[in-house]
Structure 1
Amino acid sequence: MKTKETGKGDNKDIPAVHHDFGKQLKVLKANNQIRELQTVIRDRTTSRGDFVFCADRLIRLVVEQGLNQLPYKNVTVTTPTSYSYDGVEFVHGNCGVSIMRSGEAMEHGLRDCCRSIRIGKILIKTNEDTGEARVYYAKFPQDISRRKVLLMYPILHSGNTVVQAVKVLKEHVHERNVILLTLFCTPNGVKSVIDHFPEVTVLTSEVDPVIPTHFGQKYFGTD
């Protein structure tokens, strides 16, 4: 059964308002490159090699926009030709946290952009009968309380897993310092996260009722 794609961002850079979720939701500007990647990922006939290739490209785009949400400061450097150049650099104090296992697919894209960034992990399992999500493992950088956190989870469906992850993170860092990086999310998933944590930023490539929930199995070859 075919479903109609829902609205995409059409403003410059990342639109701050989408599906009336307010400024906490940021969606990549839709273009043909992104739509092609989303199409290949959704196509059930896509080989695993093509799937991983396109997923990694989309992850990189989301990660790079996530880095734009981090704090920068102005700096002046001297070029090899002895000219001064006014530029910017990251304010130190950022880290990544992946929700295992599917979130680990995004770690390589983050390290491609920030080679020395520290990455923590959270393991959450959901009871298939009750839908309850429980945290089984969490390990973060020791100074996470002083850092901005890029929380990585590629598919936001119900939002239960991310809600539990942010609850654990809030024991160490204020929710306004948490930026969720996700590739695809449902309106219900976004609503759940933002209703629980109105200061968390959610950054995604698409909001749609139908999302590729097979992502983790296909990416890691366990489908």
Structure 2
Amino acid sequence: MNAVCRFSMEKHFIENNMPCHNQPLNNNVNDSQEHAAKQVRFADSDESVAEPRRDSGTSSDAQRAIGPQLKLLPLNDQIRELQTIIRDKTTTRGDFVFCADRLIRLVVEEGLNQLPYSECTVTTPTGHKYEGVKFEKGNCGVSIMRSGEAMEQGLRDCCRSIRIGKILIQSDEETQKAKVYYAKFPPDINRRKVLLMYPILSTGNTVIEAVRVLREHGLLAKHIILLSLFSTPHGARSIVQEFPDITILTTEVHPVAPTHFGQRYFGTD
């Protein structure tokens, strides 16, 4: 077979079997238009095209009012969806726990970014030197029982050997004041940086009492990073007013907090 004939056969095969540049891979025109419309939302930088999130100002306004002690995870579609599923009353418990664990992991990862680190040099398997960083020793977690225990596994997934203390605080039936019933920390807690775990900040009273107990054990408030999923403006403000040196990390500040979190997560609702 000569070269001209072979070229003619190859050209005929390509034209009849391969889509051209202006022909959609999907013959469904509606699907192609819908896909293109979805892409515009991410490609267009004009904020007037996309509808602004209605509650985005609540968190940012609270952050400005409370100060730099309050740190928010950058809001994106992934976090927004997790927040929505957790708040939805029709969400099954299985989906609730799955999404809660995902959101917890994001908060824990960002909480670790707040811990001190030092520069170090390591040798790669090829013998080269690499300038990196490592966390300083002396970090630990403290969960406020019971809802705070939901965040323990997320912390262990990131720091498998980290020590975790516990503290149980409940409201007194007569006085309605927060009362400490149990507290167990590492013996050198006063020399550590503490990731204090409590998913929902409503009034802030429970956290305030927990920080007081930690201070009684010699820990400075500036060495405490409070990890939370949701917070009310009142709760965050109360904590910062009581302890100006503390750091609060959360995903959202909203007047209505999902206080059903602990019951749904542990299946006691």
**TM-score above 0.5, yes or no:** yes
Give the TM-score of the pair, scaled to structure 1. Answer: 0.93
Q: Is 1:198 matched up with 2:244?
A: yes
**Code of the aligned partner of 1:205:** T
Work out which of the residue numbers 111, 124, 127 in structure 1 matches 2:172: 127
Report which of the two has the higher share of helix. 2
Relative contact order (alpha carbons < 8 A, sep ≥ 6): 1 or 2 greater? 1
**Code of the aligned partner of 1:5:** D
Give the TM-score of the pair, scaled to structure 2. Answer: 0.77
- Within 1, Cα distance between the matches of 2:174 and 2:242? 23
- Within 1, Cα distance between the matches of 2:172 and 2:63? 31
SS in 2 for 1:37: helix
- Within 1, Cα distance between the matches of 2:121 and 2:111? 24
Work out which of the residue numbers 80, 85, 96 in structure 2 matches 1:35: 80
Work out which of the residue numbers 141, 144, 162 in structure 1 matches 2:189: 144
- Partner residue of 2:222? 176
Query: Structure 1 residue 7: deviation in Å?
Result: 2.1
- Partner residue of 2:37? none
**Greater CA radius of gyration, 1 or 2?**
2
Q: Is 1:218 matched up with 2:264?
A: yes
With over 3 angstroms needed to count, the CA separation of the structure-2 counterparts of 1:85 and 1:31, relative to structure 1, is same
- Within 2, Cα distance between the matches of 1:187 and 1:118? 31
Work out which of the residue numbers 255, 261, 265 in structure 2 matches 1:209: 255
Unmatched segments (≥5 aa) in structure 1: 11-16
Query: Structure 1 residue 9: deviation in Å?
Result: 6.4
Count of paired positions: 215
Instruction: Name the Cα RMSD after superposition.
Output: 1.6
Work out which of the residue numbers 55, 68, 73 in structure 2 matches 1:5: 55
- Partner residue of 1:56? 101
SS in 1 for 2:187: coil
Unmatched segments (≥5 aa) in structure 2: 1-53
For 1:17-32, list aligned pairs within 5 A.
18-32=63-77
Work out which of the residue numbers 112, 122, 126 in structure 2 matches 1:81: 126
**In the TM superposition, what whole-angstrom CA distance separates every residue of 1:45-76 from its partner, at most 9, and x where no partner exists?**
00000000000000000000000000000000
- Partner residue of 1:157? 202
**In the TM superposition, what whole-angstrom CA distance separates every residue of 1:154-180 from its partner, at most 9, and x where no partner exists?**
000000000000000011201100110
Report which of the two has the higher share of strand. 1
Structure 1 runs (4+) greater than 3 angstroms displaced: 127-131
Identity, in percent, stands at 68
